[in-house]
Amino acid sequence: MKLSSLMIRASLVALATTGLAGPAAAQGVNISISCGAVGQELEICRQGAEAWAQETRNTVTVVSTPNSSTERLALYQQLLAAGAGDIDVFQIDVIWPGILGQHFIDLSAHVNGAEAEHFEAIVENNTVDGRLVAMPWFIDAGLLYYRSDLLEKHGASVPRSWQELTETARMVQEAERADGNDQMWGFVFQGRAYEGLTCNALEWIDAFNGGAIVDAEGNVTVNNPGAVSAFELASTWVNEIAPEGVLNYAEEEARGVFQSGNAVFMRNWPYAWALAESEESAIRGKVGIAALPRGGEDGKNTGTLGGWQLAVSQYSSNPEAAADLVRYLTSREEQKRRAIEAAYNPTIAALYEDEEVLAANPFFGELYETFVNAVARPSRPTGASYNRVSNEFWNAAHDVLSGRAEPQDALARLENDLRRMSRRGW
Amino acid sequence: MAKPVSSELTRARVRSAWIFLAPMLGVLALVAGWPLIRTIFFSFTDATLANLTDYRFIGFDNFLEYYEGEWYGVMADPTWWRAVYNTVWFTVVSVSIELVLGMIVALTLNTAFPGRGMLRAAILIPWAIPTIVSAKMWGWMLHDQFGVLNDILMTLGIISAPVAWTASPETALWAVVMVDVWKTTPFMALLILAALQMLPSDCYEAAKVDGIHPVKVFFKVTLPLIKPALMVAIIFRGLDALRIFDLVYVLTSSARDTMSMSVYARQQLVDFQDVGAGSAASTLLFMIIAVLVLITIMTARVRLGEDER
Amino acid sequence: MRSSLAARTGFWLLILAIVVFAVFPFYYAILSSFRSGPALFSTAIWPDSLDLQNYVSVFRDQPFERNILNSVIVAVSVVGISLFLGVTAAFALGRISFRGRGLLLLTILSVSMFPQVAVLSGMFELVRALGIYNSPWALILSNLILTLPFTVWVLTTFMRALPRELEEAAYVDGATPWTVVRRIFLPLMWPAMVTTGLLAFIAAWNEFLFALTFTLSSEQRTVPVAIALLSGATQFELPWGNIMAASVIVTVPVVFLVLIFQRRIVSGLTAGAVKG
């Protein structure tokens, strides 16, 4: 007994001095992180994680997970519900803190106030019941893409309001079709009945000052004049300035149409820029980006907040090391590297004025405003019911787009359904 | 039937029967019994995917609940009833079409002609392809901008503008039916062919001698004789169609227009993390299927009884 | 045969229509798999490029050979276990009459009446309890729920059809039931076992929902899940060329298997379906 207790004490001392000793015989731990599924996203994450592993003498395993957001969430749900320690660090979508928050540790104790550098909206989004459950990693927001050559050719300017966009789109579309380009459409976006439509429709509503479906206190606010005006405008688009197929378009379908030169305007995430400017693109050099237009003169420029965060699981066997990995990956240096090498939008405000970052991505400067004014989906107030809320919302939007419901009726019914859903609180 | 010679022998044989059955029953109990009972159990609780250990019993609330003047629960959800309608409509339409087309293909294969083996091999291809692959293939062909189907139809002048097959509410369910018909007609055709090849040829000889028109022969002689096989085919196809998931999910994801009952159950279970509601939907689905199968079997037995006269 | 020219032309047109209907989508998938980049969006129905790039990237960007191996392991194991359990159960259900036989058969059938999604949460609990999450064992176990019912039913039907005298003679000679099964019935059941084996193989090979739910890392996935989750360079891209290439890779062996055994499938279904 005496020998073993001596050994225990000895190993404890060894462990304690590991951090101070430097290149001692330190035993590293293995941290597994799920961050991205394929291609560049996986690669650049792996590079960052390996660099941390080198520095701290640990090892890192990068686990690849389904690429689709919904599949990934389902997977995480099952793992976390079972209390599995298979994954230590999770890359989570911006709408998941409310749903998964209870399974993650409070990171504020581990990052020493680093969260103050990041965009306030995201940090707030990631704080559930006073606990910072995830650190912001990279940000996304909806943007307006336009064909600068077509606008110039037909003497139109970049629209500043949704009404103006509708007009311009129609005008250019008609003119182009008269010129013989009969596959031209005015505006493509994500109109399929899925989470992407929630993002699009939320942008329309918020632009008209219609709020964000459910406010921060959990009240259902979606049925208001601003929202009604937004939906009324949107209901005029399908088959007029947008092809009927838009009702089943996700990000890629819309990009396919825009990139082959058959649309004047597109709403999409920032990733489409690099692809539109690539060598294979039919519209290379002819594309511009702007913030999404306002809902009329007293509306606002907005974009739905997207992006991913890093969280540490409560069931991890090495939470300290895992939290340190998170701290490293979300730090200024790493975010700057990712911005320059792979155009991932950083969540640290100061980086948008960094010369090297701007040299690599000139349009980041324009994006800054959008990111600061971005509207978050109501995942925090609605918590575990967010997916249901989103489902109801996108179904209402889809009905309005496809002409199956009048905007006012759809919104009234949506309000009623959301109230029923929250009858016992969120 | 004479009584068994020795009841000792019978009892030994019955015992050995149970011994032989034991492995299969054991595995089935583990693999099917336990999960199914758990599902029915969960349908009476408010368990969520986030927390499968901390739940309360809420009785029938997942199925139907009356609270402060309003109805809640799966059976009060219009989306559920829409899914039921979609599934039943899909089953009736696709099984009927597969029956007719399968019959045509089977009759064709029943005739002797050069290259019959090749044709039999060719029609098996749709059935051999994994559902996920068929769904992706057809999704690509039905694409409204880049799809080859729109291209061909426009070249032939049948339509003037590309049709959004999987997006438009009117055509979406038909698109699903089309893919399912493409995929399962071979299976029906094979079953019917098997039945046709078992038929005694003397009926046909007699009919030919009498000079009866082939179509009449078909309806009066062939059809009644293969009715038992047809019923089996219909029941199994119907069972599969009522439970359809893969095709609908991959082709149109969780859109309400084409949602089947299985897709609804999965949405509740996985997307909304509501294990209680998802299990309730699954249990309801099982009961609907059981009822429909029983009805089909009973009506078929009645008709069979008459034919045997 | 007095068939007129019109009738014969009509007949051959019908055959052509059937072949085109059955084969065209697969043919088009093969075409698309050989196109890449902007050429992918062309809708020409004649081969215009022979670019192997898609096939290369299918194997490069994910452990596709590993996925194929997983599928093969799972499918073969499922077939082996199902046939063993099926034959033993069919012997009892088909040759020996006892109380509760009919009810048992109906119960086994009713297992097929539950949708796959219904057993998902219970099965997940079971898989985690046994510690086999994210391994082929989870899939082998869960696929049995799909293959056992119809395997038992079809083999029972065949067993019933075999003549009594074979068995009686063997018992008189003092053989145990197991010997009877092994020496006498198994050789006779060969066509039926091939048929049900093939059907079970295809069912396990195609299975999607369980494979999606019970695997975590890409090395453990089976082929249908790998294809469904194939993605391009960014989160949103859908690489149609790669998807078509993967689909072709996965389908060709199954098609070959089916073509080789197609005559047995027909005769197998003959005996089973009509008598059932």
- Per-residue pLDDT tens for A20-35? 434 444 568 889 998 8
Of A205, A372, A96, which is closest to residue A213 (Cα–Cα)? A205
Specify the pLDDT at position A365: 79
Reply yes or no on whether the pLDDT at B199 is more than 50: yes
Q: What is the DSSP letter of A63?
A: E
A73 pLDDT more than 90: no
Range with the lowest mean pLDDT among A181-195, A230-244, B48-62, C245-259?
A: C245-259
**pLDDT of amino acid A208:** 94
Instruction: Identify from A32, A75, A77, A78 which residue to disrupt to test chain C contact, counting C C-beta atoms within 10 A and taking the largest count.
Output: A78
Is the Cα torsion angle A405, A408, A414, A420 positive or negative in sign? Answer: negative
The per-residue pLDDT for range C148-207, each reduced to its tens digit, is 988 888 788 777 777 788 778 877 887 777 887 787 788 877 777 877 887 788 888 888
Measured in angstroms, the CA of A258 and the nearest CA of chain C are apart by 13
Q: How far is A388 from chain B (nearest CA, A)?
A: 6
Q: Which residues in A283-403 belong to E strands, given as ranges?
A: 287-290, 305-312
HEC readout, chain B: CCCCCCHHHHHHHHHHHHHHHHHHHHHHHHHHHHHHHHHHHHCCECCECCECCCCCECHHHHCCEEECCEEECHHHCHHHHHHHHHHHHHHHHHHHHHHHHHHHHHHHHHCCCCCHHHHHHHHHHHHHCCHHHHHHHHHHHCCCCCCHHHHHHHHCCCCCCCCCCCCCHHHHHHHHHHHHHHHHHHHHHHHHHHHHHCCCCHHHHHHHHHCCCHHHHHHHHHHHHHHHHHHHHHHHHHHHHHCCCHHHHHHHCCCCCCCCHHHHHHHHHHHCCEHHHHHHHHHHHHHHHHHHHHHHHHHHHHHHHHHCC
Q: Is the separation of the CB atoms in A23 and A12 below 8 Å?
A: no
Q: So what's the pLDDT on residue C39?
A: 64
Q: Specify the DSSP element, H or E, that contains A396.
A: helix A386-401
- Rounded to an integer, what is the distance from CA B119 to the centroid of its chain? 25
Give the nearest partner residue to A271 out of C217, C234, C238, using CB atoms: C234
Chain B positions touching A70 (Cβ under 8 A) are: 270-271
Query: Distance between CA atoms of A147 and A159, rounded to whole angstroms?
Result: 12
pLDDT digits (tens, 9 = 90+) for C114-159: 788 878 877 887 888 888 888 899 999 999 988 898 888 878 877 7
Q: What is the mean pLDDT of residues A203-228?
A: 92
Task: Give the pLDDT confidence score for residue C163 in this predicted structure.
Answer: 78
Tokens of residue B63, six digits: 């199925």
Please give the backbone phi and psi of residue A116, each rounded to the nearest 5 degrees, phi first: -70, -20
Mean pLDDT (chain B) is 81
Gyration radius of chain B over CA positions? 25
Answer yes or no: is pLDDT of B274 > 90: no
Is the Cα dihedral A267, C242, A66, B257 positive or negative? Answer: positive
State whether residue A70 sits within 8 Å of chain C by CB. no
Residue C161 in contact with partner chain B when CB distance is under 8 A: no
What torsion, rounded to 10 degrees, do the Cα atoms A222, A228, A232, A234 define? -30
**Model pLDDT, residue A155:** 92
- Give the confidence band of B231 by pLDDT, cuts at 50, 70, 90: confident
How do residues C92-103 score in pLDDT, each as one tens digit? 888 888 888 888
What are the residues facing B57 on neighbouring strands?
B45
Instruction: Scan residues 147-206 of C and list those with Cβ closer than 8 Å to A.
Output: none
The two three-digit tokens of residue C21, written as one number: 């209907």
DSSP A26: -
Radius of gyration of chain A from its Cα atoms, rounded to whole angstroms: 24
Question: Nearest to residue A374, comparing CAs of A108, A73, A164, A118?
Answer: A118
Q: How many contacts (CB atoms, under 8 Å) link B and C? A: 265
Interface test with chain C among B8, B21, B251, by most C beta carbons within 10 Å: B21
In the predicted model, is pLDDT for residue B308 greater than 50? no
Q: A-side interface with B, Cβ within 8 Å?
A: 70, 74, 77-78, 80-82, 99-100, 102-103, 192-194, 243-249, 253, 256-257, 262, 384-385, 387-388, 391, 395, 402, 404, 420, 423
pLDDT band at B101 (very low <50, low <70, confident <90, very high): very high
Which has the minimum average pLDDT: A69-78, A126-135, B285-294? A69-78
State mean pLDDT over B174-182.
91
Q: Is B228's pLDDT higher than 80? A: no
**Minimum mean pLDDT among B69-83, B176-190, C41-55, C217-231: which range?**
C41-55
Q: Which of A205-214, B239-248, C39-48, C236-245 has the highest mean pLDDT?
A: A205-214
Angle at C138 between CA C135 and CA C141, to 5 degrees: 145
> Is B224 a residue whose pLDDT tops 50?
yes
Interface of B with A in 198-237 (CB under 8 A): none
| pLDDT at C78 (0 to 100) | 96
- Tell me the C-alpha distance between A383 and A390, whole Å: 12
CB-CB: which of B36, B121, B130 is closest to C114? B36
Model pLDDT, residue A401: 94
Picking from C216, C222, C51, C208, the residue whose alpha carbon sits closest to that of residue C133 is C216
* pLDDT in the model for residue A277: 82
pLDDT score for A14: 43
Percent of chain B with pLDDT over 70: 93
**pLDDT of amino acid A10:** 45
For the beta carbon of residue B72, count every other beta carbon within 10 angstroms.
Answer: 18
Cα distance between residue B91 and residue C40, in whole Å:
35
How distant is the Cα of C55 from the closest Cα of chain A, in angstroms?
16
Higher pLDDT, A401 or B213: A401
Report whether A384 contacts B48 (CB < 8 A).
yes
The predicted model scores a pTM of: 0.81
CA distance C217 to B18: 41
Q: Please check whether residue A142 is in contact with residue A269, taking contact to mean a CB–CB distance below 8 angstroms.
A: yes
Q: Give the per-residue pLDDT at A266.
A: 96
Minimum-distance CB partner of B21 among C25, C92, C267: C92
Q: Which of B127-131, B225-229, B270-274 has the highest mean pLDDT?
A: B270-274
The Cα B10–Cα A104 span in angstroms is 63
Q: Are strands A143-147 and A131-132 parallel, antiparallel or unpaired?
A: unpaired
Flag if A103 and B51 touch (Cβ within 8 Å): no
Distance CA A73, CA C221 (A): 17
B2, with CB counted inside 10 A (0-12, 13-18, 19+), is exposed
Quick one: what percent of chain A has pLDDT higher than 70?
Answer: 92
Structure tokens at C243: 């998807």
Closest CA to A43 of C233, C230, C238: C233
Segment C31-57 shows an average pLDDT of 73
* Structure token digits, residue B176: 């699903």
CA-CA distance, A70 to A195, in Å (whole number)?
A: 9
- How far does the CA of residue A418 sit from the closest CA of chain C (Å)? 27
Q: Are strands A143-147 and A263-268 parallel, antiparallel or unpaired?
A: antiparallel
pLDDT in tens, A366-393: 788 888 888 889 988 898 889 899 999 9
C273 has a pLDDT exceeding 50: no
